[in-house]
Amino acid sequence: MKEVGEMFARYEIYLLEMMAAEAWEHAMKILKPKLLAAGGERRMVGRVVIEAVKGDIHSIGKNIVGAMLKMNRFEVFDLGIDATASAFVAKAEEVGADVIQ
């Protein structure tokens, strides 16, 4: 995923190719328990709350940002799409978010 992000930054691949972020998310659901069992847990550097705001049902950008943050050791709390501002603020306060997007 890191390589994909770097290629995107250099304009070597485009947004549709970045959909690999979704594949990464699905793979991590399978791999994370195995990595943790093998002692592969990494220290998180911060907590981030992300969402697609109420009225916006598009999630690809949010998903890409979330995947990139996770790869770089952020704990990401994703409220999904069409989330309310009050739910967003409540979650940020609940988890002690360092960053909100």
What tens digit of pLDDT does each residue of 20-79 get? 666 777 777 787 777 667 765 678 889 999 988 777 767 777 877 887 788 778 889 999
Predicted local confidence at residue 77, as pLDDT: 93
Q: What is the distance between the alpha carbons of residues 59 and 53, in angstroms, rounded to a whole number?
A: 10
Beta bridge partners, 48, equal 76, 99
* pTM of the complete model: 0.63
What's the domain range around 35? 2-100
In CATH, what number is assigned to the domain containing residue 52?
3.40.50.280
**Does position 16 have pLDDT exceeding 70, yes or no?**
no
Predicted local confidence at residue 98, as pLDDT: 85
Beta bridge partners, 76, equal 48
Predicted local confidence at residue 11, as pLDDT: 81
Beta carbons of 77 and 95 less than 8 angstroms apart:
yes
Question: With bands split at pLDDT 50, 70 and 90, how would you rate the model's confidence at 94?
Answer: very high
Predicted local confidence at residue 9, as pLDDT: 81
Domain count for the chain = 1
The structure tokens 């967003």 sit at: 88
